[in-house]
Structure 1
Amino acid sequence: MILTVNVEKIISRDCDDVFEAIYNPAQMRHYFISSGSGKLEAGKEVIWRWEDVGAELAIKVLQADKERKTIEFHWDASGSETKVQIILEQAGKKTVVKIHETGWESNEEGIQRYGQQIQGWVDMVTCMKAYLEFGINLRAGKVVEE
């Protein structure tokens, strides 16, 4: 059995605004990454960086369809390569953000990685909501310096 993370959140912004906030690293740096090497264009590989924790990841973009409001990519954020699908659905003046990540075996290691990714995606969409609805960067001050 393959494990799949499913996270869903409503953001009080138009689908186009939410898509751009995910597609464009200049916006993502306000809620998720520190920087990115480019926009999420289909067929490209981009690098996302988290300077506050000294990490970077290659994102292999499979699809970024503004009309269908979907983004798909492969990455190895959890230590093994997984597929991420982000689907945006307009709901009146709000957007439903659905994130699915799949690819872990249902063994002890897979369950641990799966659980960490749930926490990560909930944090990401919560930070995106704060940024898009209120202009607040919740990433600021996340790392405690000793």
Structure 2
Amino acid sequence: MDLSFKVSARIAKPVAEVFEAVVNPDHLSRYFTTGGAKGRIETGATVYWDFHDFPGAFPVHVMEVEPERRIVLRWAATDCAAEAGDVQAGEAQSGSYDTTVTMTFEPLDGGTRTLVSIAEAGWRQTPEGLQASYGNCQGWMQMACAMKAWLEHGINLREGMFK
């Protein structure tokens, strides 16, 4: 069994605006990375995301960016190590490996709305890998909901949620 998932959300903004909300660290820090984002998402870059619920900046490796269409990222699979307190989030550990995140952006309704889909795959087929995949699925759905609320209404759903 391949441990992977895909979540989607429809946002009532054009693709260019939704895409910029993801690739621009200033925008991403307003609704998703509760501890902040550093670095613009561009092919070949390594950016850093920090979250209050998992302190310590996560390095995120940008594999591919197709403007206003697709983003492919790789980052360390936690396999619940951070939740168990074994290591700080973002730290390398023995036997660590990466998962792949693919975000796609599709225009809807003549370009006035956007379908954002986020897929992640690559966990080890272990109970810990399964648990980590569930946690990330939850996190990406929260990200999609938070982005929708931020872009459409200026509301930060994650503010105060984790600290």
Taking structure 1 as the reference length, what is the TM-score of the superposition? 0.90
1:7 and 2:7 are equivalent in the alignment: yes
- Name 1:58's counterpart in structure 2: 59
Instruction: Please report how far the alpha carbon of residue 114 of structure 1 lies from its aligned counterpart in structure 2 after TM superposition.
Output: 1.2
- Name 1:130's counterpart in structure 2: 149
1:89 and 2:106 are equivalent in the alignment: yes
The 5 Å alignment of 1:1-146 reads: 1-33=1-33, 34-51=35-52, 53-67=54-68, 69-76=69-76, 78-79=78-79, 80-92=97-109, 93-144=112-163
Residues 87 and 32 (structure 1 numbering): CA distance in 2 closer, same or farther, change over 3 Å? same
Conserved? CA contact 1:15–1:89, under 8 Å? yes
Conserved? CA contact 1:5–1:117, under 8 Å? no
Instruction: Please report how far the alpha carbon of residue 111 of structure 1 lies from its aligned counterpart in structure 2 after TM superposition.
Output: 1.2
Conserved? CA contact 2:61–2:73, under 8 Å? yes
Residues 77 and 123 (structure 1 numbering): CA distance in 2 closer, same or farther, change over 3 Å? farther
Conserved? CA contact 2:77–2:123, under 8 Å? no
Cα deviation digits, residues 21-73 of structure 1 (max 9, x gap): 00001000111113222100101111112256522100100111215x11111
Conserved? CA contact 1:78–1:116, under 8 Å? no
Instruction: Please report how far the alpha carbon of residue 138 of structure 1 lies from its aligned counterpart in structure 2 after TM superposition.
Output: 1.1
- One-letter amino acid matched to 2:2: I
Secondary structure in 1 aligned to 2:122? strand
Distance in 2 (alpha carbons) for counterparts of 1:38 and 1:105: 29
Conserved? CA contact 1:4–1:102, under 8 Å? yes
Cα deviation digits, residues 65-101 of structure 1 (max 9, x gap): 215x111110125344100000000011110011010
Distance in 2 (alpha carbons) for counterparts of 1:115 and 1:42: 27
Unaligned runs of 5+ residues in structure 2 are 80-96
Residues 53 and 2 (structure 1 numbering): CA distance in 2 closer, same or farther, change over 3 Å? closer
Taking structure 2 as the reference length, what is the TM-score of the superposition? 0.81
